[in-house]
Amino acid sequence: MRKSHPVRRAVLAGAATVSGIVLLLSMKPASDPGGAQAAGGQVPPAAAGQAPQGGVNGAVTGDAQQTQYGAVQVRLTMSGGKITQAEAVQAPKGGRSDQITASSVPRLNQAAVAAQSAEIDAVSGATYTSAGYKKSLQSALDKAKAAGGAAQGSGSAQTLTGDVAQTQYGPVQVRVTVAGGKITKAEAVQAPKGGRSDQITSSSVPRLNQAAVAAGNAQIDAVSGATYTSAGYKKSLQSALDKAPAGGGGGGAAQGSGAGGAQAKTVTGTAAQTQYGPVQVRITVAGGKITKAEAVQAPKGGRSDQITSSSVPRLNQAAVAAGNAQIDAVSGATYTSAGYKQSLQSALDQAGG
């Protein structure tokens, strides 16, 4: 019978001890607090940021955002204050853009519904489209928030973001806070920048903000030396006030747009880009009907002047007669008609029609 060697016994004992320690360290508790989240790959809605609550229902169209490769515009379908569907009604197209749009937009739509906010990740390879999508998505949520605030009562504060106004030196976009029928805060979320524009913007925008609050409407004086910025500011400010629901803190809108009667509401649709220039429609709605329609932007210059002067009055009449955006295109004005109908639909979405 062989005797065990003392060194061999020591080695075997050490190996057994190490194996036991490894087994103990590798064991996990039966319940891991973070396990469900890690497995699902989803952040709870509260952490991701939710869409504005307050029973908002229906379609809300965000502002069109210009990118290096074309416009991006998002439309949301809301139910009970939550995003149930997201879609891009405008996205870059032509050449390589078709492939990028087809690949990225469905993923961005899904992300918007999942996150219930604009805090979504950009799609790899679609940086510009993603940035424009998120910006338009945020403006749609701002409009939904304003509508939700109006539903809760006219005394509550509402944040309204105006449409982007394009100027010779860059876009201008205004956001206002309205409470008790008065503008309590005004700010430019976009303004011309770069070179000389930086100095003009830093000097003029604070004065325009103060003027908007003081006046309570868009009838404010242009700042000397900042003619284009002032004009864009007033245009975007007016569109923000137009979005204030009737009787829900939109006193400035009523004064600025000339809307008569407590039940009348003036709403400006988002600008629709066409091959010959932007088309933007403003409507007055009363008693659930369109009582007035007008194009605040339409193609101009050269042949476009003649087409616009001939087609726009007919489109305005058709919109009032139909009460919706299902109107026929005017012969010889295909692009203008298509842009008109698109902007008209966005105005109706904002009006809740």
Task: Provide the residue-wise pLDDT of the chain in tens; the chain has 353 residues.
Answer: 455 555 556 545 555 554 554 444 444 443 333 333 223 333 333 333 455 555 567 788 889 999 999 999 998 988 877 899 999 999 999 999 999 999 999 999 999 999 999 999 999 999 999 999 999 999 888 888 877 655 555 456 788 888 888 999 999 999 988 887 788 899 999 999 999 999 999 999 999 999 999 888 888 999 999 999 999 999 999 888 887 664 444 444 444 444 334 457 888 888 889 999 999 998 988 777 888 899 989 998 889 988 998 899 999 989 988 888 889 999 999 999 999 999 999 888 887 75
At 188 the pLDDT is: 92
User: What gap in Å lies between CA 218 and CA 235, rounded to an integer?
Assistant: 8
Kindly report the CA angle at 258 between 257 and 260, in degrees rounded to 5? 130
Q: Quote the pTM value.
A: 0.37
At 256 the pLDDT is: 44
User: What gap in Å lies between CA 60 and CA 347, rounded to an integer?
Assistant: 9
* Tokens describing residue 298: 């339409």
Do 187 and 167 meet the contact criterion of CB atoms below 8 Å apart?
A: no
User: What gap in Å lies between CA 95 and CA 180, rounded to an integer?
Assistant: 50
At 108 the pLDDT is: 96
Do 336 and 310 meet the contact criterion of CB atoms below 8 Å apart?
A: no
Q: How far apart are the first and last CA of the chain?
A: 99
* Tokens describing residue 144: 């939904």
Contacts of 117 (CB under 8 A, 6+ apart): 48, 49, 50, 51, 141
309: three-class secondary structure by DSSP: helix
| Tally of residues, the chain | 353
Of the candidates 157, 187, 176, which has an alpha carbon nearest to the alpha carbon of residue 248? 157
Kindly report the CA angle at 161 between 94 and 79, in degrees rounded to 5? 80
Distance of CA 314 to the CA centre of its chain: 30
261 — phi, psi (to 5°)? Answer: 90, 145
At 258 the pLDDT is: 42
At 257 the pLDDT is: 41
Half-sphere exposure of 243 (CA within 13 A, CB side): 37
Distances (CA, A) of 48 to 106, 114, 116: 19, 9, 7
